[in-house]
Amino acid sequence: MNRGLAWLRALADGSEGGNGTVRAADVSWDDERARLVCVVPDAQARFPRARAGQVGVEEGWKIAAAIRAAVDADAIDATRGVQPRAIIALVDVPGQAFGYHEEALGLHESLAAAADAYASARLAGHPVVALIVGKAISGAFLAHGLQAGALIALDDAGIEVHVMSQASVARVTRRSEEEVAALANVVPATARDVHAFAQLGALARLLGVENADVPTADDVRKARSLLLQTLRDLRACERGPADRLGNEAAGRTRAMSIRVRQLLEAQWDAPA
């Protein structure tokens, strides 16, 4: 069951965010404005392989359009002193669409458009936050979520962060599914649950909720409060993906990512 729409309605006071596979709803919380963006299932979607909430060839460009519209509108209003609104990605995406027509139409460029829109909004001073409420898989997550300045996730067993289904990994690497699952003990980065992802230092916060599928009023209050705090933190101190390396967890689990950067910097200029 896709949670994106449930959380969109809850956070946007019942708004459906339009229709189709990509929804966008604008909210005002205290002194902050935000555009919530979400990818949802739609049985009527034109491309059959993008009807279950996947990010397909239409969705990437739609995400980009929704974000660009907000950025362009705020750029005009900036002359009146209006601060750029936050962009909040609600993430429950089972992956990218897998299909012949998708590839024929340049699915990779569609996902690049979405990633570009989020990154460009961030660079233009819009706080960009991703709230993972369900699945955050592979290319879909790269397009919708990973370019945020801060990632938050529900502390819930229904959260999955990974790059390919376990069954598919087993097929491709020619191991059994049990062996693939056991790999998570050897290489924690191959684990799929939210705590393992948090261990990589990629999450700003984990949010405990009573009901991740159908958020209670209290869940919504807590989420809204956390989102507000997070986007205010981002206004005070802009952050991008590479800043995810700066915390203690990443110092342990992404040590080589830090070491490589140190070595590159030391060798960047030719010795005198």
Residues 147-166 that bind other proteins (CB under 8 A): 147, 161-164
| Token couple for 214 | 């159908």
Smallest distance, Å, CB 229 to other proteins?
Answer: 23
Site for other proteins in 14-43 (CB under 8 A): none
Q: Does 195 bind other proteins (CB under 8 A)?
A: no
CB of 47 to other proteins, least distance (A): 7
Residue 23 backbone phi and psi in degrees, to 5: -115, 145
Site residue total, other proteins (CB under 8 A) = 75
Coil, strand, or helix at residue 169? helix
CB 180 within 8 A of CB 171: no
| Nearest of 20, 39, 172 to residue 94 by alpha carbon | 39
The pair of structure tokens assigned to 256 is: 């080589």
**Binding region for other proteins (CB under 8 A) out of 31-39, 206-214, 226-234, 249-257:** 249-257
Pairing label, strands 32-39, 128-137: unpaired
Q: Please, which of residues 50-109 interact with other proteins by CB under 8 A?
A: 57-58, 61-62, 64-65, 68, 96, 98-109
Q: Least distance from C-beta 183 to other proteins, angstroms?
A: 7
Residues 198-227 touching other proteins, rule: CB under 8 A, are 200, 202
Of 162-191, which residues contact other proteins (CB under 8 A)?
A: 162-164, 168-169, 171-173, 183, 186-187, 189-191
- From 39, 142, 203, 204, residue interacting with other proteins (rule: CB under 8 A): 142
- Using the contact rule CB under 8 A, the part of the chain among 14-22, 76-84, 210-218, 239-247 near other proteins is 239-247
In sequence order, the 6+-apart residues with CB closer than 8 A to the CB of 50 are: 21, 56, 57, 58, 59, 97, 99, 102
Q: Does 115 bind other proteins (CB under 8 A)?
A: yes
**Which helix H or strand E contains 161, and what residues bound it?**
strand 160-162
Pair of tokens at residue 186: 């050897």
The answer to whether 132 and 27 are in contact (CB under 8 A) is no
**Residue 3 or 144 having the CB closest to other proteins:** 144
